[in-house]
Amino acid sequence: MSKPLVTVIIPTYNRADLLCEAVQSVLDQTYQDFAILISDNASSDNTAEAVACFGDPRIHYHRRPANVGMKENFRLAIAQAETEFVATLPDDDLYLPEHLQSGLDALASHPQAIYYACPARFFGDDTAGALRPRGISDTTTPLIYCPPEQAVNFLGIDTPGPLHGVYRRAAFHERIFWGPSDFPPFDMLVLIQLMVQGGFVFGNHSSTLFRIHRASTSTGNQGALHTLRYNCMVWYAVRWLAQYLLDYPMCGLEAIERHGMTAISDQHVVPLVLGLGSFDSSPGLRMAAQRIFEARRDMDTASARFRLARRLGFWTIPVAEKVSQTRCGWRP
């Protein structure tokens, strides 16, 4: 029996019912030459029994003996795959039937691209719209190729595509940095590292569904300290990526500063200023953050930290980050 072309990776933890919906959405694909790898992060519910009920030989179930965290479960699962392509699906989200075919067709038409992404349409409550990159303003062109030099356009609370993509497996080489331990926003780091290898293709047609629910890692209400801890991680990711992109001539310091000066969304500008304004940033990046802040200080934003700096001065930004790290107990 020949090896399938693509492995669909589904990391999971204690979501047997939702996992079954995710698996069924893969089995319902128009493209059928796939394997499914379910990476169970030591669930304590009936996940194993639920998977066994499918009885499909294309489904491979692996249960970890101990919980290794969400990021590490993703990383180890992708490392297990042996196919030319991998696709990822969080256990609470769904593929629409054409997703795999759309992704593989897009990558065939753009052989230089490392991965395919598309908007993930919200479902599960009354929320309308879709999860899509703010760095892509074109909402009508069916298929858009984003070259590596556009990676700087996604600095901020943005990623070049939701984590539901179809990827060339070889791009996940050992040099990819997934972040420190216990680092939920690893997709911010990983997707840009993949993008600079050859760009990505973005399809404007939604072929995945992003579930909105209280237990979601992305949307759940888990308290002020949890939010503060996550924000510290985001600021760290922004400055790590900015330093990483300085090694690429098409994404140097001038490009980073230009992005901050011209970005429309405060979801790009504010995290850029807060992340690069840190004591942990290089002097060049910190100076760029101050110039961006002075040019954009009057922008409308919900960020209390940005508004505080507007009243008292840029110096409050690195000081406030150190206070936040102490309060939430997280340091990179």
Q: What tokens appear for 127 in the block? A: 């929320």
Angle, helices 266-276/304-312, rounded to nearest 10 degrees:
60
Q: Which of 211, 239, 258 is the last residue of a domain?
A: 211
pTM of the predicted model, to two decimals? 0.93
Asked whether residue 108 falls in the same domain as residue 156, the answer is yes
- Give residue 249's domain range: 224-328
CA distance 278 to 286: 7
In a domain, 1, yes or no: no
Residues of 243-259 as b/e, b for ≥16 C-beta within 10 angstroms? bbbbeeeebeeebbbeb
- Residue 231 CA: distances (Å) to CA of 44, 179, 213, 286, 312: 30, 14, 20, 18, 21
Alpha-carbon distance 139 to 203, whole Å?
Answer: 9
Q: In angstroms, rounded to a whole number, what is the distance separating the alpha carbons of residues 156 and 248?
A: 18
Same domain, 24 and 148: yes
Q: 218 in a domain, yes or no?
A: no
Number of domains forming the structure of the chain: 2
Same domain, 111 and 200: yes
Nearest to 208 by CA among 90, 108, 297, 316: 90
Q: Are residues 69 and 197 in the same domain?
A: yes
Same domain for 54 and 163, yes or no, is yes
Domain assignment present for residue 216? The answer is: no
In a domain, 22, yes or no: yes
Per-residue pLDDT of the chain (332 residues; tens, 9 = 90+): 578 999 999 999 999 999 999 999 999 999 999 999 999 999 999 999 999 999 999 999 999 999 999 999 999 999 999 999 999 999 999 999 999 999 999 999 999 999 999 999 999 877 789 999 999 999 999 999 999 999 999 999 999 999 899 999 999 998 999 999 889 999 999 999 999 999 999 999 999 999 987 666 554 445 788 999 999 999 999 999 999 999 888 788 999 999 999 999 999 999 999 999 999 999 999 999 999 999 999 999 999 999 999 999 999 999 999 999 999 999 88
125 and 257 fall within a common domain? no
- CATH code, 204: 3.90.550.10
Residues 228 and 197 in one domain: no
